[in-house]
Amino acid sequence: MAAQYCCNQPMLQPTTTNTILPDELIDDILLRLPVRSLLRFKSVCKSWKTLITHPKFANIHLRSSTAAEDTSMANKQLIFLTKIEPYVILTYHLKQLFENPSTCAEPVISSFLKMKKYGIYGSCNGLLCLFDRSQCRLKLFNPSIRVKSKKSPQVFPPLDWTMRYYGFGYDQINDKYKFLVVLKDYDNGETLTKIYTFGEDSCKTIQNFPCNFICF
Amino acid sequence: MAQEASSSTSSKTISLKTGDGEIFEIEASAAKQMKTVQRLIDDLGDDITIPLHNVFSKELPKIIEYYKKDITGEITKDFEAEFVKDLNDDEVKVLFLAANYLDANKLFEFLSQNIADRLESKSVEYVRKYFGVENDFTPEEESKLREERAWSFRGIKEDE
């Protein structure tokens, strides 16, 4: 004998002309979309634009797209910066490269004024760290949304230093992106270590940075 | 009549009744994967036909098919591709909603990703219709948005 069970869930119609999904389910789907689709869907309505452009959404999207379980490679890209005319950034989507290895891949091309002066000196969380060697200035560029930062002040004076080591990364504790560079003056053997923090425009010198130089 | 909790549920089947009155059988180990069903079993006992008011006879067999494969560890990419091959965008949406109601996590994740994959190259108009969302931008606001990111509007599939 079946017991009567009182269910508080609203009754769905068995055949709906258009099933409406609750917001939290829509959010779950949106977080799985690649950046390019999300940029387009900002135009769906105002609340979607607010959601998609919110930094919290971007953070969750980044974390889920870089998670180990994500095998879709929907957001993984291979990026080149050309060193000859035209000076552009070429973005290849890894998913296409792996799924169709025998077809010629079409890159997405992005460019901005004075791109010729820059080289790619690191990438982290989808951001490219660009460095202008002649002026020793840094710039961040996000090829997925094609937004670039202003150029930084001079990171170090362009004297006769060699950039021995450099690295670009994200400081999780302070929520800041940083660029570290170890400079060596081969004439007198001096080294100088600088760390630049984006957003703060601050450049600190680090004393006694441990760096073992291998002499060839 | 008081029901004793059975200690071995591995070969037991549970009866599920859909919102439109049809009854389907599922193995107890598969039912365990659907947290809502398991909660109902815990409350009502496993000898009773479990009522699922919000799931219907069109969707439940598909869901049962998925979890039947899951308990034998046979879910592969090929199986999943085949599973959604003949479903249109609206059918996937209804199945997704049912998976949410049943708290069937694995199926939920799979269908959410599948919907995202289907919508990836669709137009803004299609997405609005799909989710039943009204456009509250003025024509000027909308054309400004499109201009700003014109490059992201290229390569869109034709709406069916």
> Is-cis flag, bond preceding B139, omega within 30?
no
Read off the pLDDT of each residue in A50-57 and give the average, rounded to a whole number.
92
- Adjacent-strand bridge partners of A93: A77
- Mean pLDDT score of chain A, rounded to an integer? 81
- pLDDT exceeds 50 at position A5: no
**Assessment of whether the complete model's pTM goes beyond 0.95:** no
Q: What integer is the mean pLDDT of A130-134?
A: 88
Instruction: Please state, for a pLDDT cut of 90, what percent of chain B lies above it.
Output: 71
The pLDDT tens digits for B66-99 are 999 998 888 888 999 999 999 999 999 999 999 9
- Ranked by mean pLDDT, the top range of A27-41, A88-102, A184-198, B140-154 is A27-41
- Supply the pLDDT for residue A208: 77
- Mark yes or no for CB contact A45/B43 under 8 Å: no
Residues B65, B75 contacting (CB under 8 angstroms): no
- Asked whether the predicted pLDDT for residue B7 surpasses 50, the reply is no
Complex ipTM > 0.90: no
pLDDT grade for A188, boundaries at 50, 70 and 90: confident
CA proximity to A184, closest of A194, A176, A174: A194
Contacting B residues, span 107-136, partner chain A, CB-CB under 8 Å: 112-113, 115-117, 119-121, 124, 127-129, 131-136
Distance of CA A38 to the CA centre of its chain: 15
Burial class of B130 by CB neighbour count within 10 A (0 to 12, 13 to 18, 19+): buried
Between the alpha carbon of residue A24 and those of residues A28, B66, B107, the distances in Å are 6, 24, 16
Answer yes or no: do B19 and A7 touch at CB < 8 A.
no
